Amino acid sequence: MSDQETSKAPPVEAAGHKIRPVGGTEYSWCKAVPGGTGITVLALLLSKPPNIPLLQSALHKLQTAHAILNSQLHFDPTSSAFSYIISPTPQLQIQPFDLPSTAQILQSYGSHLNSQSISPFHLILEHELNKNSWQNLDPSLDTAVFFASLYTLENERWVLALRLHTSACDRTSLTALRMGLLGAIGEEAVAVAVERVENEFSLGIENYIPSGKTNKPFWARGVDMLGYSLNSFRLANLNFKDTESPRASQVVKLQLNSEETDMILSSCKSRNIKLCGLLAAAGLVAARSLKGIPDDQWEKYAVTTLVDCRSILDPVLSSHHIGFYHSAILNTHDIEGGEDLWELATRMYTSFANAKKKNKHFSDMADLNFLMCKAIDNPGLTPSASLRTSLLSVFEDSMIDQSEELHHVIGLEDFIGCGSVHGVGPSLALFDSIRDGELDCACVYPSPLHSREQMQEFVHEMKRVLLNESIG
């Protein structure tokens, strides 16, 4: 691996700016984002006129508290290396779009879609997921990792969209940003986010892994790498609709009411498994069902589970620590057909939990990053050159939000936080949350590799499986 991928260099000062090379996992995201995977977006739908100076001030406070949010991404073509360069003062400026400008964007983005049933808020989210400021990095111009836009809709509605490079912001970071901004919009201090994080230039996740957790004998690393590579050619996928046309990320939703959610969560708790195991199992059952494969015909599916490592790092990092501190565990599962959903969910979750007990989220980190970069450089290594690395990706833990009262006060009608996947990645990435007791999943997929109709049918079948086989 290159020095870039293994660098643990601390920040250095240069002309008043702090500079550090990206870490190994961050490097993988820097490689992935130009192709379309790793654009993180938080979209907030507001029904009260936003105070732009207040929002600007709040964003600057967050940039001051979390230095990586105030960084520029620098690319050195001579060494193919990436670095973060941090300015001593906040740089972000909100880009406003008035009603005519927003309408033009909606018309332009929605013109090639059957967008009649898609809300303007949803279209803006997808528009932001496909705005790639990092697609063609100019070595002479550094590019910010954090952008903010404010769109004006009809009927006195506004959408505040935060768009970030995923190397600087994982799902936990996005939640911290959202809570900080909600406080600011409600004319409260953003001290909750500021006070818990020192104003420092944090390092990548590799620098905080506890000693000994990444140890793996050379022969074991070779066997695992070979296993990951060979298994990729045996993996089943959803049928691809269009493997040639340019791709973009699109989103469908999976939602359950509070009663359905409570029953599912209670059943998971009684079986000592997490929701991620059940969602992944429902996805595999749904995928096989839609393909109409006869029982007794085996297929092998891959599921990627993302683990927030903050609580198990050294030192432990708080949930307000901004950056990318997730790792991945990739498991494959043989599905015969006719499986009991709960038995499959338990088996899948147990496989994940056992891998985590063996520290594979740390010991396999460099291997998976390396293979991800190889897939980016050699799409032909994946089925139909699709760059699909798994059928599904899920998060080990759901995000829990109990902010309905605050949402009402500030006029927050809806919000969605997720990341793009139309470069390298899964066929469906599940960004799940429990909002005031209700399951809400943003399901992101690459289009037109998969069509919206296909993925709506897939998610509908997942919901049917969840309700009929786990509750009924």
Closest CA to 160 of 59, 39, 37, 34: 59
List, for residues 14-27, the tens digit of each pLDDT value: 556 789 999 999 99
Q: What is the domain extent for residue 358?
A: 217-470
Q: Is 208 domain-assigned?
A: no
CB 341 within 8 A of CB 470: yes
List, for residues 412-436, the tens digit of each pLDDT value: 899 999 999 999 999 999 999 999 8
Q: Is 206 domain-assigned?
A: no
Using DSSP, state whether 160 is helix, strand or coil: strand
225 — pLDDT class (breaks 50, 70, 90): low
**Averaged pLDDT of the chain:** 88
Alpha carbon 69 to chain centroid distance?
17
Average pLDDT over residues 245-266: 96
- Residues 164 and 310 reside in one and the same domain: no
> Domain of 171: which CATH number?
3.30.559.10
Q: Is 89 domain-assigned?
A: yes
Among 59-63, 77-81, 110-114, 318-322, the minimum mean pLDDT is found in 110-114
Q: Is 51 domain-assigned?
A: yes
Q: Count how many domains the chain has.
A: 2
- Residues 231 and 185 reside in one and the same domain: no
Q: How far, in Å, CA of 464 to CA of 457, rounded?
A: 10
- Residues 242 and 350 reside in one and the same domain: yes
- Residues 191 and 270 reside in one and the same domain: no
Q: How far, in Å, CA of 90 to CA of 57, rounded?
A: 10
- Residues 178 and 237 reside in one and the same domain: no
- Residues 466 and 357 reside in one and the same domain: yes
Tokens standing for 160?
């505040």
CA 322, 328, 334 angle in degrees (round to 5)? Answer: 155
- Residues 106 and 246 reside in one and the same domain: no
List, for residues 6-52, the tens digit of each pLDDT value: 344 555 555 567 899 999 999 999 999 999 999 999 999 999 988 89
Interstrand relation of 412-421 and 425-435 (parallel, antiparallel or unpaired): unpaired
The whole-number pLDDT of residue 116 equals: 60
Q: Write the DSSP symbol of residue 311.
A: G
**365-377 helix and 218-232 helix, angle to the nearest 10 degrees:** 40
User: Of 134, 164, 199, which marks where a domain is finished?
Assistant: 199
Q: Is residue 448 reached through a cis peptide bond, with omega within 30 degrees of 0 on the bond before it?
A: yes
Q: How far, in Å, CA of 223 to CA of 285, rounded?
A: 30
Q: Is 205 domain-assigned?
A: no
- Residues 139 and 228 reside in one and the same domain: no
List, for residues 371-400, the tens digit of each pLDDT value: 899 999 989 888 899 999 999 999 999 999
Average pLDDT over residues 234-242: 91
User: Of 169, 199, 229, which marks where a domain is finished?
Assistant: 199
Q: How far, in Å, CA of 28 to CA of 8, rounded?
A: 15
- Residues 341 and 307 reside in one and the same domain: yes
> Domain of 378: which CATH number?
3.30.559.30
Q: Write the DSSP symbol of residue 34.
A: G
Q: Is 212 domain-assigned?
A: no
The one-letter amino acid code at 201 reads F
The whole-number pLDDT of residue 179 equals: 86
Q: Is 465 domain-assigned?
A: yes
The whole-number pLDDT of residue 12 equals: 55
- Residues 116 and 229 reside in one and the same domain: no
Q: How far, in Å, CA of 21 to CA of 27, rounded?
A: 9
Which residue, chain included where needed, has tokens 């790092």? 313
- Residues 174 and 228 reside in one and the same domain: no
Q: Is 131 domain-assigned?
A: yes
Which residue, chain included where needed, has tokens 């599921």? 303
Q: How far, in Å, CA of 372 to CA of 380, rounded?
A: 13
The one-letter amino acid code at 145 reads V
Average pLDDT over residues 87-114: 87
- Residues 195 and 221 reside in one and the same domain: no
CB 333 within 8 A of CB 301: yes
151 — pLDDT class (breaks 50, 70, 90): very high
Please check the confidence at residue 101 and state whether its pLDDT lies above 70.
yes
pLDDT above 90 coverage of the chain, percent: 66
| Beta-bridge partners for 439 | 434
DSSP H or E stretch at residue 250: strand 248-255
Backbone angles phi, psi at 355, to 5 degrees: -65, -40
Please check the confidence at residue 91 and state whether its pLDDT lies above 70.
yes
Beta strands in 4-92 (DSSP E): 12-14, 17-21, 37-46, 71-76, 81-86
